[in-house]
Every structure is written in C-alpha cells, then in structure tokens.
Amino acid sequence: MPSKAPDRAGGVIVLMARTKNPHIDVPVSDPQAQSPPGLVVTVIGMLIALWCLGFAVVNLVFEISGHFASGAYAHYTSGISVMNWLVVGLKVVGAAVALLSIARRPRLVSPAVVTVLVWAAFATLAVYGLGSVAEAVGMGLGLIGGIDQIDMASIGYVLFFLAAAVGYGVLAISYSRRHPRGKGLAVLAAAALAGPAAARMAAAWAA
C-alpha cells in the first residue's frame, strides 16, 4: 500500500511506495532434502535390494527343501523353521529400506523413519561383519578354536556381509546428507542396534 509523506523542500506531497520484501512470498524449500541421489548411490541401492531378496530366496529354498530336516540339526528343525521365516521377513524389509533410501520423496514413510531404518541396517551388518572378522583373527591367533576352521566358504560369507554393510553405509550417509534434519536419529538408531550386538559378540568371545 502506498503512503503519503510531506516533502520538506517544497511542501509537495509525494507518494512513497513501500518496497515489497522479495522473499516474503517465496516458498521455503530445502533443496538438499528434495534432491535425488546420484547415479552411483542409486545403483548401490538397487544392488543392496537385490542382495536382500536373493539372500531371502536362499532361506526359502532351505525351508521348502527341508535342508535342516536331517543331519546334526534335525532335532532343531522347528526352531530353525521359525528363524528362517523371520529372516526372510527381515531381508524383505531390508530390501524395502534400500529402495526407500534412494527414492526422491517417499509418500508412505517419513524421512525420519527411513533415516532410522537405513542406519539401523548399516549398524547391524557392520557389527556382525566386524565381529566375524574379530572371531577369525582370534582363530588365527589360537585364542578361540583353530585356524583350520577357516575355509574359503566362511571367508566368502564374511565378505558377503561386509559388502552389504558398506553398501548400507553409503546409502545411510547419502540419505542423511539429503535429509540433514535426521542426523540425531541416525546416531540413535546406530547406537541402539550396534550396542546390544557388540555386547552379544563380546559375550560369545568371552565364552
């Protein structure tokens, strides 16, 4: 709205227009939070999702074929069956988390929830993988078991999990950079899962 003010020099009434704040009508947005991930991160997210689903198929094959119905674990078939289905569910959730972390704007899940889930997945796999490495070092030093228990299959298994941990780490860092408001939740999620997992590994080592 224009306002009138007297001109001291000649007594002429002049019109002075109030300047409009150029930022007042501009919608506030967070370009980092809305920016899509890069090509490399997107590919990693897809590979991690395939990793989870492929690993879930292995558990399904074990369950359908009755892999543990005979042999040393035959007496624990019922318990193993429950764990198989539980692990299948967790791996499907892991695949969904990987895909949500590379989605530009997830509609059904808030960024805070995705932040917690992706960091929790990273913490779980990282502690598991590093704990397995520590166990292998202990075998090599003769502290627990023996080095003859380490074969190529077990080495490949550990590397398999370490690769997934690195992949989730990349996804977690990328997502936190694009959604910086959830950094506190990321630390909370990582500590909440890494702490108990590390404690269990320490207890197993002590035993």
Query: Is the pLDDT reported for residue 164 higher than 80?
Result: yes
Mean pLDDT of all residues in the chain?
76
Angstrom CA distances, 11 to 6, 16, 32, 64, 123, stand at 6, 15, 54, 97, 75
pLDDT tens for residues 79-127?
888 888 898 999 999 999 999 999 877 677 888 888 889 998 998 898 8
pLDDT value, residue 188: 61
Cα–Cα distance measured from residue 68 to residue 118, given in angstroms and rounded to the nearest whole number: 32
pLDDT value, residue 135: 82
Element (H, E) at 36: none
pLDDT value, residue 12: 44
* Domain boundaries of the chain, sorted by first residue: 36-201
pLDDT tens for residues 22-74?
444 444 444 444 578 899 999 999 999 999 999 899 888 888 887 777 777 77
Cα–Cα distance measured from residue 207 to residue 195, given in angstroms and rounded to the nearest whole number: 18
Adjacent-strand bridge partners of 118: none
Count of CB atoms situated within 10 Å of the CB of 124:
22
- Helix 77-102 vs helix 111-140: crossing angle, to nearest 10: 130
Query: Which of 14-23, 128-137, 188-197 shows the lowest per-residue confidence on average (mean pLDDT)?
Result: 14-23
- 70 φ, ψ (degrees, to nearest 5): -135, 165
Share of the chain above pLDDT 90, in %: 25
- Helix 111-140 vs helix 183-206: crossing angle, to nearest 10: 30
Cα–Cα distance measured from residue 176 to residue 113, given in angstroms and rounded to the nearest whole number: 12
pLDDT value, residue 48: 96
